[in-house]
Structure 1
């Protein structure tokens, strides 16, 4: 049966409560920290050796689509009414707007150490201790808007710029690709400051704190952010019917990307799935 992912700003009080309760239970069971570990493991950058499955690569979108589905399945084992809502950061842009409310994700970190002290994921509540990270911090941190060097969230015009590109991805299939929907949405740009972080990447920078780097899953907003990113892939597919995931075939001998990216029909680790199998999920979920 198909279920629906909703805009977080439209959730009822009861839906907010059920989502938070399920998230805290996934954390209590130890499953949540497995998701953090997985994301750290598959956060491979251009300059590192080995396969890039999750970032700076064509499979950025299908990898995170499957990642979201895994979290959603964990939530729905606890409460089958719960789905991952999406945060439309082109519209809900204030640091006090949804989802930064006390009944959802809590607010900004305090100035002294960026520690989040409000909402159900605050360290003082005793339910959200950071266990897996690239630092030694034990509490959730945020720096919404970056107080010292402010940046703005991406606008809808910037998202539309990505959606308008009718090709899924293009050589060299990494963070330097200047053509293709994937990198325009993932957001590896050139230059300095905001110009070098577009769309998805700039949102991570805007939230700051735990959302920076491979351990960004420690902030629950990660899932709401990536649900909105996933929605853009769905919208792109509607705008460009028949445009497939690229590359269709693995890079040839002598290509620097050979063995470093996942082609459309290759297995996407750590799951036994291909990017092609994740292009159409309309029988699993839809977006409101």
Structure 2
């Protein structure tokens, strides 16, 4: 992969450049063995841009959509394994991430009485996003898959994530395959920009080839969580930390098109003009340079 040669026309921001890069490298960064490594470095580059270009000095946030309320966590110390009916996965529209505050909130659901489900509150309500065309942030929260009626939040529950963590020891392919479904479902739930659904003024046939989910600020909190849970899995067992394969440990049907026997830790990960390339083996240890970060639960 090389730089795409594409530039955004007109007025745009560094934020828009990340959406362009995510789109230009969509096929390289999704539905393959490199999904988690690529997005770890991509998220790191966004954090780096916040600090070097925008003067940000705080921690990089993540959205733990499995977590219950503070009160539940406190009670759980007294009554272990107490059910968590207040977890975001149980009532996702009430999550604190959907804060309407005009200076610091990320906004609530979009208003679908207009055709584009524009978000009309929060700090992004008046931001003009430049990619793929100039438009406002859009969301259309949907909890069930309209195609088959699947409950999309089920794969975000603590029980489901715990099952993935426990039953994939040493098997990077199986972990990433199951985990990516949870990742995908959050995008399907929020919809709008988060699910790369085109603005009405953009040709629908062109929309099928775009991936601009990082337009929504929730993308970065979501991928902070995705990276955090991969980090937890890595630390859970010695066989996990450097685990990386393009096929499962116990291979069946070796000709499965999902498998990539050639997936390698020496594969070069590219980020268009955002960064020089890195190889997969450079991104496993996020506590070491260039990352040097840890997660605080």
Taking structure 1 as the reference length, the TM-score comes to: 0.70
In structure 1, runs of 5+ residues without a counterpart are 1-27, 45-52, 171-179, 188-198
Superposed displacement of residue 104, structure 1: 1.9
- Assess if the C-alpha contact under 8 Å between 1:72 and 1:83 holds in 2: no
Bigger radius of gyration, 1 or 2? 2
Aligned residues: 223
For the residue of structure 2 that corresponds to 1:37, the secondary structure is: helix
- Map of 2:186 onto structure 1: 203
Superposed displacement of residue 248, structure 1: 8.2
- Map of 1:43 onto structure 2: 26
Residue correspondence of structure 1 range 80-119 to structure 2 within 5 A = 80-91=56-67, 92=88, 93-102=91-100, 103-112=104-113, 113=115, 114-119=117-122
In structure 2, runs of 5+ residues without a counterpart are 1-10, 68-87, 197-210, 248-254
Taking structure 2 as the reference length, the TM-score comes to: 0.68
2:170 to 167, 172, 177: 167
Change (3 A) 1:41 1:79: same
- Map of 2:283 onto structure 1: 278
1:229 to 226, 231, 236: 226
* Partner Cα separation in structure 1 for residue 64 and residue 188 of structure 2: 16
1:59 to 29, 34, 41: 34
- Map of 1:71 onto structure 2: 46
Residue correspondence of structure 1 range 244-259 to structure 2 within 5 A = 244-247=242-245
Superposed displacement of residue 257, structure 1: 8.1
Change (3 A) 1:70 1:142: same
Shifted more, 232-241 versus 217-226: the winner is: 232-241
In the alignment, is residue 140 of structure 1 matched against residue 142 of structure 2?
no
1:121 to 108, 121, 124: 124
Change (3 A) 1:157 1:273: same
